[in-house]
Homo-oligomer: A and B are copies of this chain.
Amino acid sequence: MKRIVFLILILQFDAKAQINDSIFIRNIYNEALSSGQAYENLRGLCKDVGARLSGSAEAQMAIEWSKRKLESYSFDKVYLQEIKVPHWERGTKESGWLRSKNGTLTKISLLALGGSIGTNGILSGEIVEFQHLDDLKKAKRGQVEGKIVFLNQAMDEQQIVTFKAYGGCYAIRGEGAIEAAKLGAKAVVIRSIGMPIDNHPHTGSMRYSEEIDKIPAAAISTQDAEHLAKMLQNGKVEFILEMDCRSFPDAVSYNVIAEITGSTNSNEYITFGGHLDSWDTGEGAHDDGAGVIHCMEALRILKTMHYKPKHTLRLVLFMNEENGNMGGKTYAQWAKDRGEIQIAALESDRGGFSPRGFNCDGSTEQVKLLESLAFHFKPYELHIFEKGYGGVDIGPLKETYPGIPLFGFVPDSQRYFDFHHAPSDVFENVNKRELELGCAANCAMIYLLDKNL
């Protein structure tokens, strides 16, 4: 009988705790939707700062802008963490033309891939097209030598989750220059990794190998890629380009950090954030302005609601996710060196779209914990709570803290690759409500992780 009474008391306690959680989360949403600062903050980051590639003046302004903003919220700590970042600049010359077999010139817009060398004046050569990187790998040297390789792989539109289609194409950008140079190509041009057929290129990082000659690498729009493929059906095409992009010595930069100190377990950290840097085209609104704002706003809301976390909640605005991940790598090592206990990390880096759920990169038990939290989000129409990817910035924590669960925020993915690394990734293409709902979802998840870990 005593045990039954005890059990009833526990159940009542549980039920009451759930009701409290439910009210708390509803208040998070109300704050985000009715008194939110997310949209105005994203406007500031996009318009008052702008695109912010690592090592640029804009990146430094983003650091100063966000530090100042975080300081205005009276968190327990706000500070910078010094890191070294690659420094690459697009330069001022970036032009491309197609010349058909009858000599007609067509100017096309292109974007150098991040990290590419320049062309050192005008570079031209016959275009040779490959549908997939594997086709290039299988090609004979004679097919490629002295020519410009055109990698025309389209994103697979039949993938429902667009990130899977991105994963299928990523190699043409990352490894195209290495594989083309192996066979003696002069340069490589890729079809932009964007989902729609549109007329602006999408940039992104590329790699060189120490053993292979470096050749220039650029992206053309999906529309121009389709056009070029058609031209090639009618005969040889010459590609002419000039780019004066180049790399500079590594630069000093910073992660921007803010904390609310844990009330009972202050040396146990929940790290969460997005990346402050962006590509140098557009405004980095979805990638990853939205993630930065999601996480800033999450901490602001918890502070506004006078929430006293058990663990220390640490917001990290990572620098250099796009071309080196030095922010994420440095942070993971630094935390370990300080003897911190990192119990979970969360990242938002998939855009500011309508929230659908969270992934967990972790053990079966950790994924089960995530699944057990799903019901809290049902009123807010989140439904994806499953094993999956965390994020690039928090990834290195897996190495310094084996066994740590990493959580990735999952918004709707359908529109992401309309904007990714492109001039269209601007503030106007982020919807206010979708952004605010993302803030609330991330805030609620951080709250629940703090309570349940």
Contact = CB atoms under 8 A, between A and B. Distances in A.
Contacts of A380: 160
Given A432-B196, A433-B195, A381 B160 contact: yes
A29 B158 CA distance: 7
A95 interface: no
A234 interface: no
A33 B381 contact: no
Interface residues of A, number: 27
A158 B30 contact: yes
A246 interface: no
A381 B354 contact: no
Contact of A414 (B29, B34, B414, B431): B431
A379 interface: yes
Most buried by B among A162, A356, A414, A431: A414
Interface string A420-438: 0000000000011110010
Contacts of A392: none
A164 to B, nearest CB: 12
A412 B158 contact: no
Interface in A400-422: 412, 414-415, 418
A383 interface: yes
A340 interface: no
Contacts of A379: 160
A384 interface: yes
Contacts of A418: 431
28 contacts: A29-B158, A29-B160, A30-B158, A33-B157, A33-B158, A34-B157, A34-B158, A157-B433, A160-B379, A160-B380, A160-B437, A161-B381, A162-B433, A195-B433, A196-B432, A196-B433, A354-B354, A354-B414, A356-B381, A381-B384, A412-B412, A414-B431, A414-B434, A414-B437, A415-B431, A415-B433, A415-B434, A418-B431
Interface of A: 29-30, 33-34, 157-158, 160-162, 195-196, 354, 356, 379-381, 383-384, 412, 414-415, 418, 431-434, 437
Q: What 10 A-B pairs have minimum CB-CB distances, sorted nearest first?
A: A383-B383, A33-B157, A414-B433, A354-B412, A354-B414, A414-B434, A33-B158, A30-B158, A160-B380, A415-B431
